[in-house]
Structure 1
Amino acid sequence: MSNIELKGFSAASSAGLPPVHTWSPPFCGDMDMVIKANGEWFHEGSKIKRPAMVTMFSRILWFEAGEYFLVTPVEKVRIQVEDAPFLVTGWQWIATEQGRAIELVTQTEDVVVLGVDCDFWMASYQQEERPYVSMRYGMSALVGRNVFYGIAESLEQVVTSEGVGMGIISAGKSYLLIKDE
């Protein structure tokens, strides 16, 4: 097991994301850290209870070749992710240049706009259909049940490359949720 060295990570990252895509540190081993399917983060078997700590770790999360890593300018450690590393916990309609759009907020304070910064899809996890959105560096976020139900109240008729049915339109992009038979 490895403990990640945070000396090379600036606390100023709260104003934005650190440039992890520019870092190429050496792989230093595995860390006993797991992001559970419900969005909770665990280290050495104990839940990380401080939201600020989870948010800090999420800022240095990197996805590569199907695996997840925490990276700093000087080291890279592998962690485990059961499903998606992020969880969407809030949403609202906003106005954008592309029209009315859904702004999504994760438990780690990431903010993305559906149709601008991310896309939406349904996928199966342990034989359950779940909603997801794309996130930075090829990662994804599970859309929390309460958020999904709130968004589902805005269903309308859509036509997409997957077919015709009920869905949502955000920033001018249509997302099919229920395909017509």
Structure 2
Amino acid sequence: MPYTPPPELTSLSIAEIAEMAEAQKLPPVDQWDPQETGDSEMRITADGTWYHQGDPIKRPAMVRAFSSILRREADGSFALVTPYQKLSIIVDDAPFVAVELESHGSGPDRTLAFRLNTDHLIVANADHPLRFGADKPQPYLQVRNGLEAVLARPVYYQLAELALDDAADPMGIWSAGTFFPIEGQS
């Protein structure tokens, strides 16, 4: 069956987005402990492009498939994991990029939904927090088990505009009942 990307976020209610995000089933890579290890000869660059042996992976379906078996290791490294094999992969910044943002509501009643470059949907909440680094003004979204998405520049600007409109003190943004302060985080 061919892959059909989810519809544009603007055409969905927040309940529909949350339901789609919850329905995304991923393999239980955190439960697998394969004995065979190696190097995948793959790399994810800071802009979210996946490479194999120096060449970009041009098929989005392949990127989606590989992203579903990606795991962050206890030492901070990354690996592609199956029940039988674990292959290291280089990640320059974050393995995912949030490329679209949909905001429903305002202030404490706001819910933010993000589409990743892999078409996965994530609702920012206590389980999927936004993080704003002190060392560089780049926000990140927790995707799963130590894996993050960096917010693409247009998404970051959209998020900043929402935060400025809210004029919260301290500066920050609400989503799904959780407040994410922008200033002073590390």
Same fold at TM > 0.5? yes
Q: Distance in 1 between matches of 2:67 and 2:151?
A: 17
For residues 52-71 of structure 1, the aligned pairs below 5 Å read: 52-64=61-73, 65-71=75-81
Q: Relative to total residues, which structure has the larger strand share, 1 or 2? A: 1
Given residue 85 of structure 1, which amino acid in structure 2 is its aligned partner? P
Deviation at 1:27, TM superposition (A): 3.9
Q: 2:130 aligns with which of 88, 113, 120?
A: 120
For residues 72-83 of structure 1, the aligned pairs below 5 Å read: 72-83=82-93
59-68 vs 168-177, which moves further: 168-177
Check if 1:177 corresponds to 2:179: no
Aligned with 1:17: secondary structure? coil
Aligned with 2:98: secondary structure? strand
Residue by residue over 1:92-150, the C-alpha shift from the partner in whole angstroms, topping out at 9 and shown as x without a partner, is 1247xx843001110112211112441111226xx742111112111111011111111
| Aligned residue pair count | 157
Check if 1:148 corresponds to 2:163: no
Unaligned residue ranges in structure 2 (runs of 5+):
1-22
> Is the Cα contact below 8 Å between 2:95 and 2:149 reproduced in 1?
yes
For 1:168, the equivalent position in structure 2 comes to: 173
Q: Relative to total residues, which structure has the larger helix share, 1 or 2? A: 2
For residues 1-181 of structure 1, the aligned pairs below 5 Å read: 16-64=25-73, 65-94=75-104, 99-123=109-133, 128-155=136-163, 156-158=166-168, 164-178=169-183
Given residue 110 of structure 1, which amino acid in structure 2 is its aligned partner? H
Q: Distance in 1 between matches of 2:180 and 2:93?
A: 22
Question: Which structure's relative contact order is higher, taking Cα pairs within 8 Å and 6+ residues apart?
Answer: 2
> Is the Cα contact below 8 Å between 2:99 and 2:152 reproduced in 1?
yes
Aligned with 2:171: secondary structure? strand
Deviation at 1:178, TM superposition (A): 4.3
Unaligned residue ranges in structure 1 (runs of 5+):
1-13, 159-163
Q: Distance in 2 between matches of 1:72 and 1:153?
A: 41
Aligned with 2:90: secondary structure? strand
Output the aligned Cα RMSD.
2.1
